[in-house]
Amino acid sequence: MSKPKFSSRSIVVSFLLLLAVSFSSLAQNTATLSITGEVTTPLDLKLTDLASFKQVSHKVKDRDGKEHEFAGVALIEILEKAGVTTGSKLRGENLAKYLLISAADGYEVLYSLAEIDPDFTDQVILLATSKDGQPLANGEGPFRIITPNDKKPARWIREVRSIKVAFAKN
Ligand SMILES: Nc1nc2c(c(=O)[nH]1)N[C@H]1C(S)=C(S)[C@@H](COP(=O)(O)O)O[C@H]1N2
Ligand SMILES: [Mo]
């Protein structure tokens, strides 16, 4: 009798690998991004919800100087959908509003609204969902902020889970 081509051990290992991969992609597809605070419509977004938005991409260099193409949607579009004060409404006291963006690992970064608004800047801050044509990996996605004009990528927050809009007023 000839030796079986695949040992039962390698079959078990392959099965476990497949299981691990499916779980991680499941985690990517079910992770939600919540937009709360000073919004008219709080949002709970899944990766699939972003498909209906216009897709934008940026070529940027990472901290090692390696170029990557990130694609996703303009953060401002999501904020507009949530009813944040943007454009002509971004004046007066609203200029004291900021976004506190939090990640799955507890990392947090802050942006002012004016930093994101196209009436104030040509920079298009991205809520990225893919890198070099692939969906963002576990530990990076499903959502990551990309700010092309920042000289260092410390605010390119990975695994974004929530964006809270608030007033920085006394
Ligand atoms: N969630 C999360 N995002 C993060 C960080 C972090 O610790 N947690 N570190 C930041 C810093 S300091 C840098 S330099 C970049 C590094 O990005 P890279 O992992 O793609 O090289 O991620 C940024 N985004
Ligand atoms: Mo960093």
pLDDT in tens, 24-47: 666 656 799 999 999 999 999 999
What is the Cα–Cα distance from 62 to 66, expressed in whole angstroms?
5
Tokens of 73: 């949607």
pTM, whole model, 2 decimals?
0.88
Q: Which amino acids bring their CB within 6 angstroms of ligand 1? A: 62-63, 103, 105, 107, 153-154, 156-159
Provide the β-strand partners of residue 40.
none
On the CB side of 102, how many CA atoms lie within 13 Å of its CA? 11
Tokens of 149: 């004009």
- Per-domain residue ranges of the chain: 32-167
Mean pLDDT of 67-90: 98
CA of 67 to the centre of ligand 2 (A): 16
Q: Which amino acid is at 74?
A: A
CATH number belonging to domain 32-167? 3.90.420.10
On the CB side of 4, how many CA atoms lie within 13 Å of its CA? 6
What does the mean pLDDT of the chain come to? 92
Q: Atom 9 in ligand 1: which residue has the minimum CA distance?
A: 154
Q: Name, in order, each residue with C-beta under 8 angstroms of 111's C-beta and a sequence gap of 6 or more.
A: 98, 99, 101, 125, 147, 155
